[in-house]
Amino acid sequence: MATNKRGRQSFILPQPPVITHWASIAGKKESEGPLAHAFDHCCRDTFFGQKTWEQGEKRMQQMALETLMEKAKLQKEDIDLVYSGDLLNQCIGSSFTLRNTGIPHLGLYGACSTMAESLLLSALTVGGGFAQRTVAMTSSHFASSERQYRFPLGYGGQRTPTAQWTVTGSGAVLVASSGKGPRITSGTIGTVTDLGVKDANNMGAAMAPAALATIKAHFLDLKRSEADYDRIVTGDLGQVGKEALLALARQEGLNLGGKLIDCGCLVFDREKQDVHAGGSGCGCSAIVLCGELLGKLYSGAWKRILFCGTGALLSPTSTQQGLPIPGVCHGIVIEGGSD
């Protein structure tokens, strides 16, 4: 059997799947941020017309999927498979979105790395000839996350300076075996990395070592360096985590400074929007990818990026039991152009 595996953690795609379309749905605060121009829909209703925030999150994912199908002029029957997951317990945002659609679905849990994980699995599935068109999708919602992971919003708890603001948003990407658009050419699957950070209000610091581990593995496996990329994009380290990653990388002789950008730092204006360390959540890297990033790749402004979804694999239970926060990061290489 021909191997597409490279090194310990990476793989290449000899026939690179194409990202032909993408869609993003953004909440109110995100729509007031610096990337609003690139979202498909900016919504001011936190409930998205539903009775609960959890159902609102589901509606957001439905809107992302519907918008994607409209843009691609596809029907449900044309989609072979949806890979999706979210932060809600038992991923109900995703499973209720897909219910009774008739679209085959495989559910994922990668915390905030889910956009990269779903893209990575889409690339393997389409690249292996097992599907022609898959959708990679995820979402997060500030209000449903806050009450699940931290405190009910009505409690009015104060946030620490290292805390991040969960993005309300959903992104969906169509990965196809042929067509025009940016292509997925390789990927690196992350390992669960834990240096002992226990502060659930500083997830950036908990995820930074995982991001470094994946970027290092990617460079080693594919014999590349930061010079091979226009940008290295992390998912949601925020300002604290981004600085931690830069410092950790420097200790190992890697200078990511000129290339590293973070979706959590890009999605909000930290000066004006009172989000402390920046954005987070599955929806953070999803709406930044399905707008700004894929736009720049499509236009040719960027030739090649390494998109690194970062996830903090904690739960309220593990935190209450005094355990540290394991991090994970999956990397996917997307190359530009609309051909």
Residue at token pair 């200078």 = 255
Question: Of residues 24, 125, 140, 280, which one binds a second copy by CB under 8 A?
Answer: 125
| CB nearer to a second copy: pick between 90 and 338 | 90
Residue 46 interacts with a second copy (CB under 8 A): yes or no: no
Stretch that binds a second copy, among 25-33, 91-99, 233-241, 243-251 (CB under 8 A): 91-99
Amino acid at 123: A
Question: Of residues 35, 43, 72, 80, which one binds a second copy by CB under 8 A?
Answer: 80
Question: Of residues 28, 70, 102, 303, which one binds a second copy by CB under 8 A?
Answer: 102
| CB nearer to a second copy: pick between 35 and 124 | 124
Question: Of residues 27, 33, 127, 291, which one binds a second copy by CB under 8 A?
Answer: 127
Q: How many CA atoms lie within 13 A of 8 on its CB side?
A: 10
Question: Of residues 15, 225, 255, 338, which one binds a second copy by CB under 8 A?
Answer: 15
Residue 99 interacts with a second copy (CB under 8 A): yes or no: yes
Question: Of residues 190, 279, 281, 331, which one binds a second copy by CB under 8 A?
Answer: 190
Residues 330/189, Cβ–Cβ less than 8 Å: yes
DSSP 7: T
| CB nearer to a second copy: pick between 37 and 51 | 51
Residue 87 CA to residue 93 CA, distance in Å, equals 8
Residue 177 CA to residue 187 CA, distance in Å, equals 17
Question: Of residues 31, 95, 162, 273, which one binds a second copy by CB under 8 A?
Answer: 95
Helix (H, G, I), strand (E, B) or coil at 14: coil
Residues in Cβ contact with 251 at an 8 Å cutoff, skipping those fewer than 6 apart: none
Q: Three-state SS across 252-316?
A: CCCCCCCCEEEHHHHCCCHHHHCCCCCEECHHHHHHHHHHHHHHHHHHCCCCEEEEEEEEECCCH
Question: Of residues 75, 158, 251, 321, which one binds a second copy by CB under 8 A?
Answer: 321
Residue 202 CA to residue 206 CA, distance in Å, equals 7
Q: Which residues of 36-63 are buried (b: 16+ CB within 10 A; e: fewer)?
A: eebbbbbbeebebeeeebbbbbbbbbbb
Question: Of residues 110, 169, 278, 291, which one binds a second copy by CB under 8 A?
Answer: 110
Residue 90 interacts with a second copy (CB under 8 A): yes or no: yes
Residue 252 interacts with a second copy (CB under 8 A): yes or no: no
Residue 63 CA to residue 88 CA, distance in Å, equals 18
Stretch that binds a second copy, among 118-126, 166-174, 245-253, 301-309 (CB under 8 A): 118-126
Residue 251 CA to residue 213 CA, distance in Å, equals 13
DSSP 157: P
Contact map string, positions 286 to 315, toward a second copy, x by CB under 8 A: ---------------------------xxx
Stretch that binds a second copy, among 150-158, 236-244, 300-308, 321-329 (CB under 8 A): 321-329
CB of 99 vs a second copy, minimal distance in Å: 4
Q: Which two three-digit tokens encode residue 77?
A: 């029957």
Q: How many CA atoms lie within 13 A of 22 on its CB side?
A: 31
Residues 143-172 within binding reach of a second copy (CB under 8 A): 148
| CB nearer to a second copy: pick between 235 and 291 | 235
Question: By the criterion CB under 8 A, which residues form the site for a second copy?
Answer: 1-5, 8-9, 11, 15, 51-52, 54-55, 77, 80-81, 85, 87-92, 95-96, 98-111, 117, 120-121, 124-125, 127-132, 148, 177-178, 189-194, 313-318, 321, 323, 326, 328, 330
